[in-house]
Amino acid sequence: MTQKVKLFTHEGCQAFNLPPEYNFDCNEVYIRQDTKTGDIILSKNPHNPHTTPKELSSWDDYFKLVDSINSDELDDFMSDRDKYSK
């Protein structure tokens, strides 16, 4: 469900009142901006599963993950791909 709320300025910062049905059950939230849409996202978890997984939150993390993969596990990766090609 989408709702529209009014923005106001408080001590030089933009703010809004969060409707009760969207209240968080915590004392802090994380804020980030979607790089594709520009949308501002508030969440309890800084690594929303619908955006970037925690283990891939930076290029360094990505390369660490790649280095951690055992090459023996990948030996048969896509080995049978030719039988599915047309």
- Interacting residues of 46 by C-beta distance below 8 A, sequence separation 6+: 30, 32
- Rounded CA gap, 61 and 79, in Å? 27
Count of domains observed in the chain: 1
Tell me what the mean pLDDT of segment 63-71 comes to. 74
In a domain, 58, yes or no: yes
Q: Determine contact, residues 7/15, Cβ cutoff 8 Å.
A: yes
Domain of residue 49, residue span: 8-73
pLDDT tens-place string over residues 22-37: 999 888 888 888 888 8
Question: How much is the pTM?
Answer: 0.47
Residue 44 lies in a domain: yes
Residue 80 lies in a domain: no
Q: Judge whether 32 lies within some domain.
A: yes
**How is the chain split among helix, strand and coil, in percent rounded to 5?**
30, 15, 55
